Amino acid sequence: MATSQVEGLTPEQLAFFNENGYLLIPDALSQDTVKQLLKDTDSMLDNFSLDDHPMTKFSTGGDDGKDHVGDAYFLESGDKVRYFFEEDAFDTSGKLTKPKNRAINKIGHYLHELSPSFRSISLSDRNAAIARSLGFQDPRVLQSMVICKQPEIGGAVPPHQDSTFLYTDPPTAVGYWYALEDATAENGCLSFAAGSQRRAPIRKRFVRTGKKGEEGTGFIDNEGPQFPQSHPGSNGDTKEEDEVYTMGEVKAGTLVLIHGNILHKSEKNVSGKSRFIYTFHVIDGAEKYDERNWLQPPTQGFSKLYS
Ligand SMILES: O=C(O)CCC(=O)C(=O)O
Ligand SMILES: [Fe+2]
């Protein structure tokens, strides 16, 4: 069998990730690649149509059961390129207060197959090698998105763990997060409760609710395993509010790896600068992907991250 020339993580990087639950890898993308990805993002934002758009906002707050068209637009986006608005992009009468390219919070969730430039940075030999060094047996890519965090109205992302959203039994999710612009304290960079992936169980899950044709989303208690097999974790006696968050300020081109159990968040962007990033997740196809997860596999299965 041919072995790949591309290296995964160094032992030092792996040790940092295991200890802290995240890892910053500067210059993972060249500045030319970053420019191309931003250009493609701008063209998606300029060209999507408002005429047939249900004006769905992005929120993982669960579902009030009132917006089935918006829910369907979200729930069917796993193999499409769709556009979700910033919560604060509308006035009280529901009219957009910004031009559409400055009103979108995120574009998702199948850029890793449908956009050639995003596909090529996602399903790469380098990312396959990283996944292999993290211990994945059958790494699969899902839930890709550009998060814009627009100037002045960029929404906050409250503290969460990614395995809440993409649950496997046991948990295996890891986020790959690329800064396409400098992410700073000013424009709402990520921050991490370092080491919390070793203490914080996956206590809840974000799932599809309701019967066919009337589906929404909501949270349920997790009754399955709470930690990956490789990190058995604590007895679950953790207090989210006691966590201390470390800022992850990064330059454009940096790749950030995010453990599925680590608590992380980002603040609102009230600055004049956008904070465009691209992210996708990897789960291990060797473990059971939960059929209640909001995102279900396309007919051809989740994309293989193999070299
Ligand atoms: O980019 C952000 O602000 C949040 C992203 C995030 O939570 C993730 O990619 O898992
Ligand atoms: Fe996250």
**pLDDT value of residue 68:** 76
pLDDT bracket for residue 230 (50, 70, 90): confident
Measured from the CB, is residue 145 less than 6 Å from ligand 1?
Answer: no
**pLDDT value of residue 2:** 56
Measured from the CB, is residue 277 less than 6 Å from ligand 1?
Answer: yes
% pLDDT > 90, the chain? 85
Distance 265 CA to ligand 1 centre (A): 7
pLDDT digits 0-9 by tens, 237-259? 677 778 999 999 999 999 999 99
Residue 269 has pLDDT above 80, yes or no: yes
**pLDDT, average across residues 196-224:** 93
Domains recognised in the chain with CATH numbers: 11-296 (2.60.120.620)
- Using CA atoms, how far residue 230 sits from 12, 121, 182, 213, 259, in Å, is 18, 28, 33, 39, 12
Measured from the CB, is residue 154 less than 6 Å from ligand 1?
Answer: no
As for the ipTM of the complex, it is 0.99
pLDDT digits 0-9 by tens, 94-120? 899 999 999 999 999 999 999 999 999
Residue 270 has pLDDT above 60, yes or no: yes
**CA of 264, closest atom in ligand 1:** 7
Kindly report which listed range (27-41, 134-148, 226-240) carries the lowest average pLDDT score: 226-240
**pLDDT value of residue 212:** 82
Mean of the per-residue pLDDT values of the chain? 94
**pLDDT value of residue 64:** 62
Residue 175 has pLDDT above 60, yes or no: yes
Measured from the CB, is residue 177 less than 6 Å from ligand 1?
Answer: yes
| Nearest Cα residue to atom 3 of ligand 1 | 266
